[in-house]
Amino acid sequence: MNLTLTLSLASSALFLLLVLVVAGFLMFLRRCFGRPGAPRPRPKQDDAADVECGKPVISTSKIADESAARRYVWAEVEAMTAGFTTEVVGEGGSSTVYLGRLPDSRAVGVKVQRSSERLRRAFLQELDVLLHLRHPNIVSLVGYCADRDEGVLVFDYVPNGTLFDNLQSDKRTPLTWAQRMRIAYGVASAVAHLHGGSGGALQIVHGDLTSSNVLLDGDLKPYLCDLGSALVGFSAAVGPSRFLLLGSPGYADPLLLRTGVVSKKTDIYSFGVLLLELITGTPAFVEEPADRSHSLLTAAVGPVVRDAEGNREKVRGILDRRLEEFDEGELTAVAAVAGRCIGDRPAMRPSMEEILGIMRDSIASVDGGSDGKGGC
């Protein structure tokens, strides 16, 4: 076979391979996103249902019920923060929260989102979700500003910092066992509301449930915040750009990390980690810069709480040593719930409504107030 024929055959084979690769890629895009203008199927109303390349069900192009909060102009935002020179009460990778004052001297938290296309979508998502929500354990939206790329959300100010701060700061009085249980119950009530409990019309997955996203007021009443990662629907598989907004180290469901599949059971896993924080007083994730290592709370105490009834003595051994008084029966019950929440099989994890029922039945300091069945 001469050189010319060999090169001709090789070129043909390479061209055919290129055509097959392009065709396969186009088929993948069509499977994920459909034809332009074609309707996309909604997720099935089943917590275990998955939607390949799914998107949030909620629309970010049209804000829901704007009457639920006031729309501010940028000049009003500058006035309430004195030109963004007031105290910074919270800061993360995507936003800064300033202590603001309304004209009537009411204190507010002013959350200013950093500017980027991805964060703009997160801002609109959080705004749309918050406009749907009213719950005593979810931060109350006062207003917003969408005039610029830096979206602004204005909340009622919650003065006592985050749950993480209250658990980890040496400058704060350690939370008692009863206080921790009331906080856990309030957070569970808020998440149950998001998930559609008590006849809620929406099915919302928070997506980033952590102790840093729980605020406490002067009476240590908890308020769930930061819904920028929220997804509306029953379950979905998220693409890479959306995946970056979901979960925090130590709290993220391993199934989410492996597959990108998000469901209500993703929040249940994170709530289990939060319960472990309340029990142990230990952060969910600890990074050691010196040797670039890290430790996970679930890895340290997961084997103990997965069989809390059979490991009562070991459960006592993981309890926060700052707790001078606690109820052993309550400790065992809560540890058992945490163990079920962080189980490897999402289908076997309890629903948030079931968790609320267990807590009402097992914990004396909880009387069911924040979910409408008593007083919290």
Pick from 234, 315, 304: which is nearest to 267 by CA?
234
Q: Checking DSSP bridges between strand 107-113 and strand 152-156, what pairing results, if any?
A: antiparallel
Beta-ladder partners of 284: none
Tell me, yes or no, if 327 is annotated catalytic.
no
Phi (first) and psi of residue 216, to 5 degrees: -120, 140
Distance (Å, whole) CA 227 – CA 213: 9
* Contact status, residue 176 vs residue 364, Cβ threshold 8 Å: no
State the catalytic residue, choosing from 208, 226, 253, 267: 208
Close Cβ partners of 9 (under 8 Å, ≥ 6 residues apart): none
Cα–Cα distance for residue pair 43/144, rounded to 1 Å: 30
Contacts of 341 (CB under 8 A, 6+ apart): 268, 269, 271, 272, 273, 275, 349, 350, 355
State which amino acid sits at residue 135: H
Name which of 30, 21, 37, 42 is nearest 233 in CA terms.
Answer: 42
Show the tokens assigned to 372: 């409408």
Give ∠ CA 291-297-303 in degrees, rounded to 5: 120
Q: Which helix (H) or strand (E) holds 340?
A: helix 328-341
Q: Which residues are catalytic?
A: 208
